[in-house]
Chain A
Amino acid sequence: MGAYILRRLALAVPTLVGVTVVVFALIRLVPGDPARLALGLQASEEEVQRLRVQLGLDQPLPVQYVRFLGRLLQGDLGRSVVTGEAVAREIAARLPATVQLAVASTLLATAAGMAAGVISATRQYSWVDYLVMTVALFGISLPVFWLGLMLMLLFSVHLRWLPAGGYGTPAHLVLPTVTLAAFSVAIIARMTRSSLLEVLHQDYVRTAWAKGLGAQAVVLRHALKNALIPVVTVIGLQFGGLLGGAILTETVFAWPGMGRLLVGAIVARDYPVVQGAVLVFAALFTLVNLAVDVLYAYVDPRIHYG
C-alpha cells in the first residue's frame, strides 16, 4: 500500500509540472507588457525597461520559466500588481475559507447524496424513487449562482433565518454550503442509485436475503460496500466542478475565499495573482484526485498496489 501511494504520488509530479507550464504559458499570452501594465501609462520608457530587467522579462521564455519554477518551489509567487502584497500571502489568507467551504460541501454532498441514492434504489420505481430522481435531475441543471440567490431571497430576505453573506459564524456557512453542494448531491445520488441497483441484483445479495438477514444488513453492510467503488470515483471527479462552483458561490455570498480573489484579480488585470490563484486551484484538484485514487485502492481490494 505504501509503495502504491508513493508511486501514485510520483505520477502526480509530471502533471503538476505540466500545470505550471500551462499556467505560465497562458499568462504570457496576455497581450501587452506586464511591466507597462504594472507601472501605468505615465511611467517613462526607462522606468519600464528597468522593471522589465528587474522582473527578468528581458530573458528568453524558457529561462523565465525555469526561474519562475525555482521561485515557485520556494513558495514565491511574485507580488500583486495592485496591492504590492506577496501573492503567496494573499492566497494563504484566502485559502482556508475556500477549503472550509469545499470540505463542508463535499461532506454534505456525500452524506445527502448517498442517503438519497440508497433510498431511491431500495424503492425502485416507487414515488419516492421518482421524486428523488426528479430532484436530482433539477440539481444537475441548476445554475449554482442562481440557486444561491434564490436561497438567499427565501432564507435571508423573507424568512430572515440566515445571513445573506459574509464569513465567520456557523450560520454564515449554511447557505453557501447548501448552494455549492446541490450539484454534487444530485450526481452522487444518481451514481449511488445506479451502482447499488446493479449490486442488488447479484447472487451474493440474494444469498444474504436467503439466509434471513434484515434489510439493513443486506443493503448497508453487504451491497453498499461494493456499490461504493464507482461512487468514490464520482466524488473525486465532481470535486473539480465543486471548485468551479466555489468561485461562483463565493461571489454570490461575499465569501472571502480564493474564488473571489481570482475573480477580483481578473477584473483588475492583476496577473501575478491570477497566475497564483489558478495554480493553487489546479494543484488542489490534482491532489484531491490523487487522494481519491489512493482511497479507491483502499475501497477496492481488487486493485493491485504493486
Chain B
Amino acid sequence: MWTRASTTVSWAGAREAVRTPPTVWRRLRRHRTAVAGLAVLATLVFVAAAAPLLFPEDPTEPRFERVLRPPSWEHPLGTDNLGRDLLARIAYGGRVSFFIGVLAVSFSALVGVPVGLLSGYYGGKFDLVVQRLVDLLLAFPGFLLALTLVAVLGVGVTNVVVAVGLASAPVYVRLVRGVALSVRNQTFVEAARALGASDRRILFRHVLPNCTAPVIVQSTLQLGTAILTAAGLGFLGLGVKPPTPEWGTMLGEGQTYLFSSWYMATFPGLAIFLTVLAFNLLGDGLRDALDPRMKLT
C-alpha cells in the first residue's frame, strides 16, 4: 500500500517508495503516547484472539454454583449473575467488539471513499446530489442515526455493523471529497492529464493515493467511535443478543447489579474505555507521523 502511495504522490519513484514507510514508522515510534496506544491495543487484540486458549471454558455457559463472586485469585474480575467468569467474558467480548468495529469501519470506508472520490473529482450534478444527501445524514446526530437504523433493521451483529457503518459513511464522503477537490486542479494532475492519462488512471494513481493518509488517520479514530457506538447500542439492549459476550451488553446487564456487585459493570466499561483511548492515542500519533501539517489546530 505504501509503495504505491508514495510513488504516485511524487515523481521521485522507487527510491522514495522505499524510504517512506520507515519514515512514518520512525516518526510514530518517537510519539510516546502513540506507542502506548499501540501497546494497549496489541495486548487487547492478543487477549481477544487467544481467548479460547486462555479461557477454555464456555463464556456463555451459566454456572449457578458461583454467581456474583467478587474478584479473587480464581476469578480476577469476579463472576456475573449467571456465574460466568468476567475476565473470560471480557476476553471473548473483545472478539465481538473488535469484529464489529473493524467491519463497521471497513463498511463505511468502502461506501464513503468511492462516493467522496467521484463526488470531489467530477463535481457537477452528481456532487450536488451527494452533498445534499450527506447534509441530510449529518442532520442526524451519529448515535441517533445508528439507533434509528437498528430500530428499523433489528438487533444482531450484522445489523449493528450496517447501522454503525452507514451512520459514519458521510464522514468519509466529506473527507475524501475534500482531498479530491484540492488535488483535482494541482499541477501534477494537470500534467498527467496533459500526458494523456485517463480519468480512471488519474483517480487511482494520483487522487486516491493522496487520500490514503487522511483515511488511515480517520479510520483509526473511527474504530474507537464505532466500538463506542456499538457498545452504546448493546448497553441499551439493542446491540448483540445475549448470551454472546459483548462489552456494552455486559455493562447493561451489570447496571442491574450495580449496588450489590460493582465489578459486573465496572470491568466491561473499563475495557471499552481502554480500547477507545488506545485508538485515540494511536490516531493522534498517526496523524502527526503521516503528515505533520495535519496536526490538530
Contact = CB atoms under 8 A, between A and B. Distances in A.
Q: Does B associate with A?
A: yes
A141 B143 contact: no
Given A15-B135, A19-B140, A152-B258, A248 B236 contact: yes
A149 B238 contact: no
Given A145-B235, A263-B238, A282 B139 contact: yes
Contacts, number: 137
B132 A274 contact: no
B249 to A, nearest CB: 12
A22 interface: yes
Nearest to B228: A143
A157 B258 contact: yes
Given A142-B273, A143-B231, A146-B251, A285 B224 contact: no
A251 B136 CA distance: 27
Contacts of B139: 15, 18-19, 282, 285-286
A111 to B, nearest CB: 22
A137 B274 CA distance: 11
Interface stretch (A76-84, A208-216, A236-244, A294-302): A236-244
A248 B235 contact: yes
A276 interface: no
A22 B272 CA distance: 31
B148 interface: yes
Nearest to B149: A26
Given A18-B136, A149-B255, A138 B147 contact: no
B147 A247 contact: yes
Interface residues of A, number: 50
Interface stretch (B110-118, B178-186, B200-208, B259-267): B259-267
B276 interface: yes
A268 B238 CA distance: 12
Contact of B272 (A146, A164, A247): A146
Given A141-B280, A145-B232, A146-B265, A247 B136 contact: no
Given A143-B228, A146-B269, A137 B140 contact: no
Contacts of A141: 224, 273, 276-277, 280
A266 interface: yes
A201 B180 CA distance: 32
B273 A278 contact: no
A278 B262 CA distance: 33
Contacts of A282: 139-141, 144
B273 A251 contact: no
Contacts of A274: 148, 151
B297 interface: yes
Contacts of A233: none
Which 10 A-B residue pairs are closest in the complex by CB-CB distance? A244-B143, A146-B269, A240-B141, A141-B277, A266-B151, A141-B276, A18-B136, A244-B141, A243-B141, A143-B272
17 contacts: A26-B148, A30-B151, A30-B152, A141-B280, A143-B235, A143-B269, A143-B273, A149-B265, A150-B266, A153-B265, A157-B262, A241-B141, A244-B147, A247-B143, A285-B140, A285-B141, A285-B144
Given A146-B269, A149-B269, A266-B238, 17 more contacts: A18-B136, A22-B140, A143-B232, A149-B255, A153-B262, A243-B143, A247-B144, A248-B235, A252-B255, A266-B150, A266-B151, A267-B237, A274-B151, A278-B140, A282-B139, A285-B144, A286-B139
Interface of B: 132, 135-137, 139-144, 147-152, 224, 228, 231-232, 235-238, 248, 251, 254-255, 258-259, 262, 265-266, 269-270, 272-273, 276-277, 280-281, 296-297
